[in-house]
Amino acid sequence: MVGLQELARRLREAKSTEEFIELIRSGDVDFIDLRFVDLPGRWHHVTIPTTRLSAALFTRGTGFDGSSIPGFTSVESGDMVLLPIRSTATGEEYGDNQIVAMIATAADADSKEPFALDPRVIAGRAEDALRRSGHASESLWSPELEFYLFSGVSFGEAPNGAHYRVSSVEAGWPDPGSNEPDLGYHIRPRSGYHVTPPSDSHFEIRNEIAARMEETGIPVKYHHHENGAPGQLEIEVEGEPLVQAADHVMWSKYIVRNTALDWDLSATFMPKPLPWEPGSGLHFHIKLMQDGNPVFHAENGYAGLSEKALFFIGGILQHGRALAAVTSPSTNSYRRLRPGYEAPTNLFFSAANRSAAIRIPKYANEPLTKTIEYRPSDASGNPYLTMAALLAAGLDGMENRMDPRQNGFGPIDRNIHDLPVAERDKIVPLPVTLEEALSELARDGAFLSSTGIFPERFVPAWIDLKRRESEEIGARPHPAEYGLYFGC
């Protein structure tokens, strides 16, 4: 009998539903797990015993209440179905059970038409729009996943109080009541970049996470300790087509969290979990290809960029303030996007300048490796929507020949804080709050639907969803406000 991951590989390559079912029945599989993503970007799932597996699951689906899923449907029209996607099959051992998990499309219960606001459906339309445009046949995306591992986490709130507290061996913050000895290999604040063991106490777990990702079919490029002293880590994934890359971001986050639990650790992709330490981003390296040939490379262009690459960059920067509402969509995102921590705060592009919203990596200097790196995004967003929105903006830039050099978006290869004030004031800033970003999306969100990628109802639905989050946070006093204003 083949192993679970080998079975999953064969399932992904199955030519028909009948072959897929036969492979399941020949393996030692206990359950089929269907996973789907809500509008904010969180996975949900429903589990079916393999004894109930039939071809009807792939044509009629299994029902669920869409009105209970954030950003989906109203109570009046909540009946929806999940249609499994065979090519996403992945093996997973959970406890004593062997599971085959698949991503599923949310669809109308009657017509079986894909739900227009299913994020994965939107991402698929982005790939279709790119091919129709004639500018490229595919886009390739390489995500950098940054996250923190903590050995203990406590948070909560009530009308009469609020708190959070995390523990980290690497920062010298032991768990309360822990009997483990403190051996002193602490990392100084903001000094964790590429440290080695024993200070890098998470090397072994990163190896295990990377191995699990590789077993799942996710091509890991490398992993390392990031700059944040209390266990900030990074795993970069090789470039893949848009929908597959977004699938793998979701799988990667799932693997990171569950592997951390196996080690009695807790993982968070929160953009800014700690003050005075670096925040965690979800950067994307992007390149376009036309029938296997690079679209973004030109031998004599700035930083080796073609005209199409510059127009693509121009579209992203031109719509950058509105894009922030999708790519940095939490109130916590704007605690990360502050000066002094390598997180971008201004909309410009540059070769190798890490304070730029779009960086052109100098090490990617061959035609096939020429990429651009979008840096403002973080993992509090939905990867399908983030990538689809970036592609929509880039396509708009190429269609309308938006040259970033003519529109004041760079290139700027100097430290912007060394620029004269008059020049620095001309640089367009990113929003500084979620509310500001949402207002920009309301003003400049038409490019999302004009490209045929996002349904027109997306922008008002997204703004309503995120504005409620912002208002919920805004209604609460911050503990630091007590120190500032209690005695006023």
Tell me which residues are annotated as active site: 65, 144, 146, 226, 234, 283, 354, 373, 375
**Matching residue, tokens 């996007």:** 337
Query: Residue 429, exposed/middle/buried by CB under 10 A (0-12, 13-18, 19+)?
Result: middle
Nearest-CA neighbor of 119 among 12, 237, 249? 249
CA dihedral 255, 258, 262, 263 (to 10 degrees): 80
Nearest-CA neighbor of 363 among 348, 374, 373? 373
Euclidean distance between CA atoms 97 and 82, whole angstroms: 23
Tell me the sheet residues that pair with 149: 267
- Enumerate residues 6+ apart whose C-beta is below 8 A from 248: 143, 213, 216, 217, 218, 237, 240
Secondary structure class of 328 (helix, strand, coil)? coil
Cβ–Cβ < 8 Å for 305, 314: no
What number of residues does the chain have? 488
Nearest-CA neighbor of 104 among 37, 20, 23, 21? 37
**Matching residue, tokens 């192993």:** 3
Beta strands in 151-216 (DSSP E): 152-158, 161-167
Query: Residue 148, exposed/middle/buried by CB under 10 A (0-12, 13-18, 19+)?
Result: buried
- Enumerate residues 6+ apart whose C-beta is below 8 A from 13: none
CA triple 288-326-36, angle to 5 deg: 85
Give phi and psi for 397, each to the nearest 5. Answer: -65, -40
Euclidean distance between CA atoms 354 and 223, whole angstroms: 19
CA triple 118-213-288, angle to 5 deg: 60
DSSP string, 186-211: PPPTT--TT--TTT-TTHHHHHHHHH
**Matching residue, tokens 């929806």:** 80
Euclidean distance between CA atoms 409 and 169, whole angstroms: 42
Q: Which helix (H) or strand (E) holds 268?
A: strand 266-268
Helix 383-399 vs helix 119-133: angle between axes, to the nearest 10 degrees? Answer: 20
Euclidean distance between CA atoms 22 and 30, whole angstroms: 14
Euclidean distance between CA atoms 386 and 146, whole angstroms: 16
Q: Which helix (H) or strand (E) holds 284?
A: strand 282-290
